[in-house]
Structure 1
């Protein structure tokens, strides 16, 4: 499960604009890359639990901010 979550985080860094910007910002601040990757894993898990608890599909925040 951990390896799948790690691969998901790496893919999210490449394709999710919000997480990509977050990753770049934290690395530029001097945070270790693995530490930032762990934070992104936690963000993914939080998103999954939120959508399951709400019973609604995930909607990107950028769609609301446009």
Structure 2
């Protein structure tokens, strides 16, 4: 059964990755470092980051009307 994480845990992990991308050079590398620190899966955090990017793009689109 997959672990369930709170929205706060997810937001914190994504924020940490975003802050560390310049140091690590990629989302995947930064997600690996954050995952190790938080005891989570790198792929889980990387997927959260991808979804966060998609959501941000969708929210910045103008609404047709």
Taking structure 1 as the reference length, what is the TM-score of the superposition?
0.43
Please say which structure displays the higher CA radius of gyration: 2
